[in-house]
Amino acid sequence: LDSARVYALKSEAAWITTKVKTKESIIGYGVDSLSIQLQLATVAEKALAFFMVKNTIEDYEYFIENYTYSPLLSKAINMRNERIYVEVRNVNSSAAYKEFMNLYPRSAEYDDAKMRYDKAIFEESVELSDIEEIELFIKEHPNSPYLSQAQDNLFKLCTRSGKIADYRSFIKKYPLNPNVEASWEKIYKIETARVSPEVLSDFLMVYPDYPLIERVKEELFNLLKVLIPASLNSNWVFIDM
């Protein structure tokens, strides 16, 4: 097949430079531009079919390099990419996915490689029980689809004791973390487990930076209301003073 390709290409080149009278004299033997193109197409088709049986990256690369004229070139490229991606998946590392994306940015497998790259980066970079590694991941990969998961893991690790001091520390250290609101709610529930005017008053004094401070004031106001019974249309109701 390889020699057939070489001779067919030589015939194509020779036909271009052949004089018209010479072309007319050999057309009768079935040799013309169309027959040469048909020969090139047939050789390419048989070559790719042979390489597909072997299904190796090297053979696809050979076809891509030597059969650039063939309409089957794109098919060979796709087959090569698919075969390479199988090996990348077997390696399953961020470096392997990154290299594949750099080399084959237009491949059909690119989007899947990007998804697996992001996941691999997260799994390789973050030991879920190590606060410093999670902090580093959040800093270096702010656009990662796993950012939210990393932020949640950080929150769980920093506040696993369930103590107010740890929730307070988390708020101060990570003010941009989406779990800051949850930290405040934990603090509020712990501090006001037994609701009373005194408890809410103390809470307002200790936590003036509580983001829902108006809610606490409203609750305190409601607790301080004095309700007295009154008769209204023969029914007893309570009204505030």
Per-residue model confidence as pLDDT tens digits over 10-59: 554 554 555 555 555 565 555 556 555 666 677 778 888 888 999 999 99
What pLDDT, on the 0 to 100 scale, is given for residue 238?
Answer: 40
| Residue environment code for 140-155, b if the CB has 16+ CB neighbours within 10 A, otherwise e | ebeebebbeebbebbb
Q: Which of 61, 66, 13, 3 is nearest to 37 (CA)?
A: 13
Distance CA 212, CA 209 (A): 9
Query: Which residue bears the tokens 């983001």?
Result: 211
Q: Which of 135, 190, 181 is nearest to 157 (CA)?
A: 135
* 29 burial via Cβ count (<10 Å: 0-12, 13-18, 19+): exposed
Tokens of 144: 């990662």
Instruction: Report pTM.
Output: 0.65
Please say if the pLDDT value at position 136 is more than 50: yes
Q: Strands 227-232 and 235-240: what pairing?
A: antiparallel
